[in-house]
Amino acid sequence: MKRNDLKVLYRWIAKPGRKPLVLRGARQVGKSTLVRIFAEEAGYDLVEVNLELHRNLDDLFKRLDIDEIVGNLQYLTKKKLGDKSILFLDEIQASPHALAVLRYFYELKPDIPVIAAGSLLEFALKDHSFSMPVGRIQYLHMGPMSFLEFLELLEPDLYELLIHYSLNDSIPETAHRRLLKIQRDYMLTGGMPEAVQVFLNTGSFDEVKTVLESINNTYIDDFSKYARSRELADLQQIFRTVPGLIGRKVKYTHYLPDAKSSYTSSLLEMLHKARIILKVHAADLSGIPLAAGRKNKIFKLLFLDIGLLCNLLGLDIIDVQNVFKRELINEGALAEQFIGQQLRFQSGLFYWVRESSKSNAEVDFAVSKGSMIVPVEVKAGKTGSLKSLHQLMYEKKLDYAFRFDLQLPSVQRVSTRVSTKSGLKESSYTLISLPLYAVELLPELIDQIRTET
């Protein structure tokens, strides 16, 4: 499977003053496979040590003797470490002291390329007091396969057509229908590599369902390795609850009705850091960076992967087909999860909300590039009100907005009136409508607008 993160590894290995690289991400998103593919492609001998299988090495790492460590790892693997090899410390969360050792590889053994990979690091590290090697390591956060990666695997010709799309181009109707079908397949399969591989091999959603159930159960079981007894049950409850509340403003009582808010907040933050959920904070969108206007207490959640989410919700192929017929009660949440999942690793992701006693207004997402702020609306079907978007565009004096729905692409100049304290006012802006499956093109299309204006 081709992964975009391979490009990051090639840049990393060639960088002067290269630091040890730590791959972060939830379990089974493909971290280990990525490293193995990279080592083979780039011509490096991979010296791989799975620290879950060698937990006794934690005592070795604790002594911080880099020569002793290198000697023992060479003896264990029967391979030599040097500039033609890559030391790969997999499942590093099982031996937390190995993280502290990475600084000594950087300072004392810079000729040895080192990659570490781990999941649920926040859980493993919360009871350890040593300091992280800040400034001595580089991070790469990995997620599930994106829709474009999925598309390239299944339909290379459609992938080539889509990635070369630019504003004011057209997409053939036959290609559009095929892309919508593949997007539906992705929504049910998700981007977890094992599920994608099973779908590629069998085309069976029943087989995919079995894989997704196994992955979800693995996450639930994994909490027991690192969580305390009370935390375990509560983390498992939150994990099962989040999929039904996607896109809704977080109220802690929805997740753990009898717990203190501070306790629930700490568990949500732990899951966020572990990349199992994503917090999308509200921001006032008054300027760049968007994070400067972040509202820390107002946020909504996305889940790790849409396939895992559909599995936890008990949805099947008929349900996902009905998203496109506007017959499913949580159709909007699935569309929002799909868009947010594709955007989460591309840029800082926020949303806009205005709450008042008379009426609330909300726009699904907002991103920025350079000095440009771009609101993003998500519609599960082919139509839908844009009242909140009109309000936002007027209040913040923004010029461009994107809407993702089921329609073919279009660009239109919107002129409408919005209610203000001093009466009706004109709101005018350019609205770019794109199919949901084109969301990953957003950064390049924003750059096209910035170049042409």
- Same domain? 301 vs 321: yes
- 40 and 153 in a single domain? The answer is no
153 band by pLDDT with thresholds 50, 70 and 90 = very high
Per-residue pLDDT reduced to its tens digit, 255-272: 999 999 999 999 999 899
Task: Please tell me the predicted confidence (pLDDT) of residue 356.
Answer: 76
| 398-409 per-position pLDDT tens digit | 999 999 999 999
Residues 201 and 103 occupy one common structural domain: no
pLDDT band at 423 (very low <50, low <70, confident <90, very high): confident
Last residue within a domain, chosen from 111, 141, 171: 141
Q: Kindly report, residue by residue over 11-35, the tens digit of the pLDDT.
A: 999 999 999 999 999 999 999 999 9
Of the residues 72, 107, 141, the one at which a domain ends: 141
SS3 category, 401: strand
pLDDT at 327: 44
Residue 119's pLDDT is 85
d(CA 282, CA 363): 10
Residues 364, 311, single domain; the answer is: yes
Full-model pTM? 0.91
Are residues 118 and 169 part of one domain?
A: no
Work out the average pLDDT over 274-295: 94
Q: How many domains does the chain have?
A: 2
Task: Give the tokens for residue 245.
Answer: 């509340």
User: Both tokens of residue 205?
Assistant: 């959603």
Residues 132 and 166 placed together within one structural domain of the fold: no
8 Å CB contact between 295 and 283: yes
Split at pLDDT 50, 70, 90, the class of 280 is very high
Tell whether 64 and 181 lie within a shared domain.
Answer: no
What pLDDT, in 10s, does the model give residues 78-127? Answer: 999 999 999 999 999 989 899 989 999 999 999 999 999 988 877 766 66
Helices 306-313 and 173-189 cross at an angle (nearest 10°) of 60
Residues 178 and 277 in one domain: yes
- d(CA 260, CA 266) in angstroms, rounded, equals 10
Looking at the structure, tell me whether residues 213 and 358 fall in a common domain.
Answer: yes
Question: pLDDT per residue over 193-248, tens digit each?
Answer: 999 999 999 999 999 999 999 999 999 998 887 777 789 999 999 999 999 999 99
pLDDT on residue 349: 94
pLDDT band at 347 (very low <50, low <70, confident <90, very high): low
- pLDDT band of residue 328 (cuts 50, 70, 90) is very low
Burial of 202 (0-12, 13-18, 19+ CB in 10 A): exposed
Q: Are 363 and 371 in contact (CB under 8 A)?
A: no
Rounded CA gap, 326 and 332, in Å? 9
- The tens digit of pLDDT for each residue in 427-444 reads 899 999 999 999 999 999
97 and 176 together in one domain:
no
133 and 180 share one domain: no
* Residue that finishes a domain, picked among 109, 141, 173: 141
- Please indicate, yes or no, whether residues 328 and 412 belong to a single structural domain of this protein: yes
CATH number at 113 reads 3.40.50.300
The pLDDT of residue 224 is: 84
> Two tokens at 244?
């039904």
Is the pLDDT assigned to residue 329 strictly greater than 50?
no
State which residues form the domain around 110: 5-141
331: pLDDT strictly greater than 70: no
